[in-house]
Amino acid sequence: MRVTVERRLRQPRWLAVAVPAGSLVFAFGVAAIVLVATGHDPVSSYRQLFDAAFVSTGSLDQTLIAATPLAFTGLAAAAAFRMRIFNIGAEGQLYMGAITGAAAGLYLGGRGGPSAFVIAAMVVAGCAGGAAWASISGVFRAFFGTSEILTSLMLNYVAGYVLTYLIFQSESYWRQTKGFNATVFPTGKPLPSSAVWPGLTVHAQGGIVLPLGAGLAVLAAVVLWALYRRTRFGFEVQVLGDSAGAARYAGVRTRRKILAVMAISGAIAGLGGVSQDGDFRHALDGDPNGLQKQAYGYSGIVVAALGRYNPFAVVLIAFLIGGLDNAGNTLQGADFPSGLVGVIQGIILFSALGGELLVRHRVRVVRRASAVAAAPPAAAPEASP
Amino acid sequence: MNNSLVVALIASGVAYGTPLLFGALGELLAERSGVLNLGVEGMMLVGAVMGFWTVQRVHGGSALALVLAIVVAAVAGTAMAAIHAFLVITLRASQIVSGLALTIFAGAAGLSSYLGNDLNLSGLPASHAFHPVFPNSMQSWPIVGPIVFGQNPLVYASWVCVIAVAFYLARTRPGLNLRAVGEAPGAADAMGIDVVKYRYAHTLAGGAFAGIAGATVTLAITPQWVSGITGGAGWIAIALVIFAFWRPELCLVGAYFFGAMQALAPELQARNISLGPTELWTNSLPYAATVIVLVVVSSRGARRRLGAPAALGVPYVREEA
Amino acid sequence: MTRRKLALAAAAFVIAGAAAVLALGTSPGRAKSNAAFKVAWIYVGPHNDGGWSQAHDEGRQYVQKMLGSKVQTTYKENIAVGAQLQQTVASLVSQGYKMIFGTSYGFFDKALAAKYPNVLFEQATGTDVAKNLAEYFGRAEDTVFLSGMAAGAAAKCNTIGYVVAYPIPEVIRHANAFALGAQVMHPGVKVRLVWTNSWFDPAKEKKAAQSLVAAGACVLGQNVDSPATGQYAESQHIPWVGYDSDASKFAPKSWLTASVYNWGLYYLRRVKAAMNGTWKPGFYYGTINDGFTKLAPYGPGVSAKAKAAIAKKEKQLENGSWYEFQGPLYDQSGKLRVKKGVRMQVLKGGTNSLYGMNWLVKGVIGSPKG
């Protein structure tokens, strides 16, 4: 008797929903065991989680704050990964977008209410910054074949050091140098009021503010979906992702696609960065204990994978993971060590990843009497990374 | 002479580069078999905390406690690697995502922190730690004194490991098979090499090395435990493997280079040498250098593999991922 | 076909069941203790870092111990400034916490305080004050000065190494106080600085310590949070002055003393005031007198002569007859910065105020810009 794993020819739609849901349930089950083993009541913990993420006053507000950057970095990863360009650099591209976006806001902003012109300029600048940073890896990949995984990963560090340098180790344009507070601790120059991004206040649950960035993320998802599903460009991207050989044979200009896709991916991540400036911090955050500790870029990759690179699913998953992050802060405390939050999140991720197998493959138990030789478990070139 | 900047930097580079070296050796083995493991930081942290726990709890001589601690750290790292191995080898999950998930699970906001807090490991120094073994007289010899004789036993162990891994890869049958597994798993399979077994074995070995790397930090460099004590060394180790072209001897050079870069800023400050935004470029230089090395190497290879993540004989991700 | 339907149904059932359990399950038991006053602390690092955050946590535990069941305390650790801080505060408020202590610069500002007018906020090391926002910190520089005296007395050579974090006024004034103290016991001694650009980074601090010793330091001190410098000092058999906590067990032979904060007394006062409605915002700057700061117990390397001198100076600081930041004070280039007899103020005086000090005193080697 042998257990074989065979690739499915078709992936039934219902599986694409049932498996993630099922793996989530499985994950919560395993995490419940961990909670019980460490002396916590799983039901009340989960209830607190759910409460803190979506139900209690202000929770949706906070979840949106956590989810917005994840949506951007998730979309950035999805945009690139769909073509099997593994852009791990969303973290650094986000920082760069924050830097260039803040520069635009500081330079062009002035008094008065939020100005459409200034905000549009910030968006353009942020996208440009992220796209430019990503293009370094893009150029190396397109012209030299250098792995974008590795170059983008390395550039994340460089971007982080640059960000810290601008606020902590220099008197740069972004640094606040006037006023008493400026001398007490290095901090970024606050954005002028016309560069502050507005939010839409919904009167529910004590007032939920929908940040402009969240709206832009949804818009970016729509644009990305349309780009990849409704244009020739997108069609070629998908072909390249699914079969590079076929694409080349068909005359698809690979180099240009690589450059374009990396730039698009970086631009979205950069937009996430400028959203951090405009929506939330209202200044450039160079604190190593601030933006750089949040690891939005890396979490975005996980979000994109869980959403299977579908832009709308990515936004939804970003919302859910944002809720989980938010709730983690709530659970944490004197009787709920912060380490446990990471453990639970890890278990959920592992389960989701493991569940992927069931979507793409069928597990069969083959009796030895059967002469059917199952395919060797090795070559499975279609598996997405 | 021994206090000169160069000698001090090299000696520091060796000392602080050792966890990087162990981590890189482990990741090198995993990647050679075709498995990219981005969870090195998480594995290091778990090894660090469990190694530290061992010395705090074991009653007995220093030597026994320390050796046991290294073993425990290696086992802990292996256990973490096993999760990743199972997910990506058997369940065909994405290697990148699984590695990141492992970092979240085991890292500074996860299991390692949980264990350390639950076992009350903070607030006390290590009961036993690795100290330099050669007498002070030898440690003061010009140049070789601080660089060679002033190091703790784990440094010497790392040298042995470099030689062993290099020998393994170049001169032994399993080592040569490993190269086949990483380069062309289909062909290796056809030759009768059990690809799955090799991948498992080397991914787990990678975890063991990562665990030892973590223990190096909590038992030799800064003998204490606090959440997140490795401070990103795992990520540097991943970069290091690439920087070293997946060759063990170059891992050693690279690790010491990265280590020396980290020690450069304080040394320059103490000697009143100001080179502008020192911190910025000493921190960034290793990463920027890695990028440059990568580009140079890929263009020399001049084979543009579309869909393949890297040009030069890089075995990972091409296959399953 | 049926298998598919079955699987779908099972999944839907499980999800529905889970949702029902979550929605209908009763609240966790702690809702019963409504009478307890809920107060929370937010730390920027781990609660057991052996340094800054741990000292605050000890203060929290003191409050919990002294007030018992009348108060319910909790803490949040590793909270980054920015989005995470916002979420943490929002969730604490929604859980009914009425008072929150933020232990790092940048946590609370007027905007945040205005957002939650019914919650009392207290911020350490900051400057914003509002109707429900108070600031607190204290004259650690006084005890840092005294610890500097111990370092100066123990120095057999002319250089003391001092590992420092960020080039900000708080750290600069501590470095200055340390140097001034050392110079009292060891006239002409130089204090050499190395900046690590981090409050807590054991490896970096050890590197800094190594470079200082290589540059000739025979005593080490620090204004950072981990005991790594001390462990290195112990391995080199040179004396060490710590910071933030009694870390003598990390370096039993090298340990001299350290300036330590005793946050508990302040916390207890403020929580009590909040509970009986007498809480008022303000800017609290604690002193040795009110127990805010003191010296940790001495190690074996502090001579009787040094102890006597330190005790004398401590008395003078307590009764106000002497102050280390009283002129004449010269900067590194020899220029007179504070005239004779003038005492530096906490907030007033621009770069001649404690909170604005961006210059180093004579005898300190290193750049105040980092």
User: Which tens digit of pLDDT belongs to each residue from B121-157?
Assistant: 988 899 999 999 998 888 888 888 889 999 999 999 9
Asked if residue C20 has pLDDT above 70, the reply is no
Instruction: Provide the ipTM.
Output: 0.86
With beta carbons under 8 A apart, name residues in chain A contacting B314: 147
Helical (H) or strand (E) element with C60 = helix C52-67
Asked if residue B71 has pLDDT above 90, the reply is yes
- Residues in C 34-53 with any Cβ partner in B closer than 8 A: 46, 48-50
- Bridge partners of A339, per DSSP, are none
Q: Is C54 in CB contact (< 8 Å) with chain B?
A: yes
CA distances from B304 to A236, A238, B301 (A): 19, 20, 8
With beta carbons under 8 A apart, name residues in chain C contacting A285: 81-82
Assigned token pair, A346: 């890890």
Contact between B184 and B93 under an 8 Å Cβ cutoff? The reply is: no
- pLDDT in the model for residue C288: 92
Q: Is B4 in CB contact (< 8 Å) with chain A?
A: no
**Per-residue pLDDT averaged across A228-254, rounded?**
85
C202-223 tens-digit pLDDT = 999 999 999 999 999 999 999 9
| Chains in contact with A via at least 3 Cβ–Cβ pairs below 8 Å | B, C
Assigned token pair, A227: 């780009």
CB contact under 8 A, C214 and B270: yes
Q: Which of A6, A143, A150 is the best mutation test for B, with the most CBs of B within 10 A?
A: A150
CB contact under 8 A, B110 and A343: yes
Contact between B79 and B13 under an 8 Å Cβ cutoff? The reply is: no
Residue B310 — pLDDT band, cuts 50, 70, 90?
very low
Asked if residue A385 has pLDDT above 60, the reply is no
**Per-residue pLDDT averaged across A277-288, rounded?**
88
CA dist., res. A86 & res. C104, Å (int): 38
**All domains of chain B, ordered by start, with CATH?**
5-301 (1.10.3470)
Instruction: Give me the phi and psi of A114, to 5 degrees please.
Output: -55, 130
Contact between C263 and C115 under an 8 Å Cβ cutoff? The reply is: no
**Per-residue pLDDT averaged across C115-140, rounded?**
93
The mean pLDDT value of chain C amounts to 88
Give the best-scoring range by mean pLDDT among A278-287, B206-215, C354-363: B206-215
| Chains in contact with C via at least 3 Cβ–Cβ pairs below 8 Å | A, B
With beta carbons under 8 A apart, name residues in chain A contacting C29: 44
Burial class (CB in 10 A: 0-12, 13-18, 19+), B1: exposed
- pLDDT in the model for residue B169: 93
For residue B185, give the nearest of A5, A146, A378 by CB distance: A378
Spans of all domains in chain A: 62-331
For residue B280, give the nearest of A162, A305, A340 by CB distance: A162
CA dist., res. A163 & res. A167, Å (int): 7
Q: Find, in chain B, the residue whose alpha carbon is nearest to that of C161.
A: B270
- pLDDT in the model for residue A327: 83
- pLDDT in the model for residue C29: 38
- pLDDT in the model for residue C156: 95
- Residues in B 290-309 with any Cβ partner in A closer than 8 A: 290-291, 294-295, 297-299, 301-309
Instruction: Give me the phi and psi of C2, to 5 degrees please.
Output: -70, -35
Does residue C314 sit in helix, strand or coil?
A: helix
In degrees to the nearest 10, what's the CA dihedral of A251, A255, A258, A263? -120
For residue B321, give the nearest of A144, A240, A385 by CB distance: A385
- pLDDT in the model for residue A384: 42
* Arch. (CATH architecture) of C140-260+294-365: 3-Layer(aba) Sandwich (3.40)
B252-280 tens-digit pLDDT = 999 999 999 888 888 988 888 877 777 78
Residue type, A52: A
CB contact under 8 A, B96 and A86: yes
Q: Find, in chain C, the residue whose alpha carbon is nearest to that of A188.
A: C106
- pLDDT in the model for residue A281: 86
Residue A378 — pLDDT band, cuts 50, 70, 90?
very low
CA distances from C77 to A237, B108, C40, C46, C124 (A): 44, 12, 11, 5, 15
Residue type, B126: A
A58-82 tens-digit pLDDT = 788 888 989 999 999 999 999 999 9
How big is the CA angle at C205 (ends C334 and B56), to the nearest 5 degrees? Answer: 150
CB contact under 8 A, A86 and B320: no
Assigned token pair, C279: 């809480």
- Helix locations, chain B, DSSP H: 5-32, 40-57, 62-85, 95-106, 111-118, 136-139, 144, 153-171, 173-183, 185-190, 195-216, 233-243, 248-270, 278-301
- pLDDT in the model for residue A96: 97
Q: Give the side-chain half-sphere CA count within 13 A for B49.
A: 28
C236-274 tens-digit pLDDT = 999 999 998 888 999 999 999 999 999 999 999 999 999
CATH 1.10.3470 for domain A62-331, yes or no, is yes
CB contact under 8 A, C166 and A334: no
CA dist., res. B67 & res. B205, Å (int): 18
Q: Find, in chain B, the residue whose alpha carbon is nearest to that of A362.
A: B91
Residue written as token pair 């590992």: C163
- pLDDT in the model for residue C30: 41
Q: Is A301 in CB contact (< 8 Å) with chain B?
A: yes
Asked if residue B41 has pLDDT above 90, the reply is yes
- The residue that leads in pLDDT, C102 or A340, is C102
CA dist., res. C251 & res. C249, Å (int): 5
Q: Give the side-chain half-sphere CA count within 13 A for A135.
A: 14
- pLDDT in the model for residue A361: 73
Q: Going along A309-373, which residue ranges are E strands? A: 361-366
Q: Is B280 in CB contact (< 8 Å) with chain A?
A: yes
Residue written as token pair 């204290």: C138
Q: Which of C43, C48, C197 is the best mutation test for B, with the most CBs of B within 10 A?
A: C48
Q: Is B185 in CB contact (< 8 Å) with chain A?
A: yes
For residue A342, give the nearest of B109, B239, B314 by CB distance: B109
Asked if residue B34 has pLDDT above 80, the reply is yes
For residue B93, give the nearest of A144, A354, A379 by CB distance: A354
Asked if residue C101 has pLDDT above 80, the reply is yes
Contact between A332 and C77 under an 8 Å Cβ cutoff? The reply is: yes
Asked if residue C21 has pLDDT above 70, the reply is no
With beta carbons under 8 A apart, name residues in chain B contacting C48: 117, 122-123, 226
* Helix axes B40-57 and B5-32, enclosed angle (nearest 10): 110
**Per-residue pLDDT averaged across B156-175, rounded?**
95
- Bridge partners of A5, per DSSP, are A363
The mean pLDDT value of chain A amounts to 85
Give the best-scoring range by mean pLDDT among A257-271, B185-199, C31-45: A257-271
Nearest partner of C350 among C338, C340, C366, judged by Cα: C338
Assigned token pair, B165: 């891994």
Q: Residue-wise over B75-84: b if at least 16 C-beta within 10 A, else e?
A: ebbbbbbebb
Contact between C79 and C18 under an 8 Å Cβ cutoff? The reply is: no
Nearest partner of A287 among C106, C367, C358, judged by Cα: C106
End-to-end Cα, chain B, rounded Å: 52
Q: Find, in chain B, the residue whose alpha carbon is nearest to that of C213.
A: B270
Say how many C-beta atoms besides its own lie within 10 A of residue A246's C-beta.
Answer: 11
CB contact under 8 A, C212 and B16: no
Contact between C79 and A328 under an 8 Å Cβ cutoff? The reply is: no
- The residue that leads in pLDDT, B184 or C224, is C224
Asked if residue B309 has pLDDT above 70, the reply is no
- Top CATH class, C35-138: alpha beta
**B207 Cβ neighbours under 8 A, 6+ residues apart:** B26, B37, B43, B77, B78, B79, B80, B81, B82, B84
- pLDDT in the model for residue A172: 87
User: Could you say which DSSP state residue A140 is in?
Assistant: I
Asked if residue C111 has pLDDT above 90, the reply is no
Pairing of strands C133-138, C190-195: unpaired
